[in-house]
Amino acid sequence: MTDVRFLTSDEISGLATPAEYVDAVREGYRDRGNGAPAEPRTKLVNADPPGMLTGYMAVLPSLGVMGGYTYSAGFGDVDAHFFLQLFDSESGQPLALLDGASLNPFKTGAAGAVGVDTLARPDASTLALVGSGAQAAGQLRGVSEVRDLETVNVYSPTKENREAFAAEFNDELDAAVAAVSSSDAAVEGADIVVTATNASEPVFDGDLLEPGAHVTAMGQYDEGKRELDTTTIERATYVPDLRARAFEDAGAFLYALEAGVVDEDHVHAELGEVVAGVESGRESAEDVTVFDSGGTGIETVAAAKMLYEKAVDAGLGQTISLSPASEALTGR
């Protein structure tokens, strides 16, 4: 039998700071840039009841772990449920099973932050944030760890939501956080633009991007949806989390590709390659850069390893026992 630590969402919540998530995820992408295996999500869609079962995996040898993230969304209860499995990458033995819900905005926000830290100008201080949900909050907290933000302009379609979001973060952050009445008002003059929406159509006009702006788009992991227009994709040094994912479900890139605005060579590099120094990122202060963050096992497994170690140190979680195949697969 193998002892495995089970961590609930409540135990994980508040266990690590946004900065710790960013550090962990950065090392995960560095490992990927040096050749660690990772694959885009597999998504199975069910018609009745409507729902989606999704999973993705990564092996991160330098971190000593590997694992996967599996979640359901929709179906009968119209909700989402997340399981995260963590294994030792040398022995193959399971280490932990995590309820992955509460960590989701933090690990995704950390991936966005690594994209900003890798591709945005070092002096970037003005952020446009399109979206005001949990993922937008994760992105803002992450970016705040890697850039000294002075101004944050937030837009989402519902006035009450964007104003409540701005008020919350105006108290939490040193930056001046304000709700604005349109995405155009947010994007104009911004050094960094982050989109965290479930939109099916572009949420801002790419012509409004200032020379030198960086864009992180984290809501486009469906081939039929896009947060960014073809102008943004065409203008940008385009860096996805995984090259293969860009051709599977990165809606904005696929739309631009089909429209003939870009070709396959427009994928400049994967984020991990830039983090590891294998490929270049921003080459001038005038470059427009895009990090297309659709979600991978890289940030998920890297974050899980960090949380597992902190939980062990804090004595959190309960032990469950799993049987290895040598014991369980008797066939009798």
Summarize the confidence of residues 170-191 as an average pLDDT: 96
Q: Are strands 214-217 and 79-88 parallel, antiparallel or unpaired?
A: unpaired
Q: How far apart are CA 32 and CA 273, in angstroms?
A: 7
**β-pairing, 79-88 with 94-99?**
antiparallel
Task: Please determine, for residue 39, whether its predicted confidence score (pLDDT) is greater than 90.
Answer: yes
The residue to which tokens 């992408």 are assigned: 29
252 contact partners, CB below 8 Å, separation of at least 6:
202, 217, 220, 226, 227, 228, 229, 230, 232, 233, 292
Domain ranges of the chain: 2-104+297-328, 120-292
Q: For the residues of 46-73, what is the DSSP string, one character each?
A: ETTTTEEEEEEEEEEGGGTEEEEEEEEE
If pLDDT is split at 50, 70 and 90, which confidence band does 206 have? very high
Give pLDDT tens digits for 78-130. 999 999 999 999 999 999 999 999 999 999 999 999 999 999 999 999 999 99
**Fold match, 2-104+297-328 / 120-292:** no
Q: Parallel, antiparallel, or unpaired for β 42-46 and 65-74?
A: unpaired
CATH 2.40.10.10 fits 2-104+297-328, yes or no: no
- Which of 274, 320, 277, 293 lies closest to 110 in space, CA to CA? 293
Looking at 3.20.20.80, 3.40.50.300, 3.40.50.720, 2.60.120.1130, the CATH number of the domain 120-292 comes to 3.40.50.720
Predicted TM-score (pTM) above 0.85: yes
Is the distance from CB of 290 to CB of 215 less than 8 angstroms?
A: yes
Spell out the residues 6+ positions from residue 227 whose beta carbon is closer than 8 angstroms to its own: 130, 195, 197, 199, 202, 203, 217, 219, 220, 251, 252
Contacts 24+ apart (CB under 8 A), 165-173: 165/132, 165/136, 165/137, 169/137, 169/140, 173/140, 173/144, 173/149
Tally of residues, the chain: 332
Percent of residues, the chain, with pLDDT higher than 70: 99
pLDDT at 224: 83
Least confident of 107-111, 179-183, 209-213, 218-222: 218-222
The whole-angstrom separation of Cα 282 and Cα 288 is: 8
What Å distances lie between residue 101 and 41, 70, 218, CA to CA? Answer: 17, 11, 17
Which amino acid appears at position 279 of this protein? E
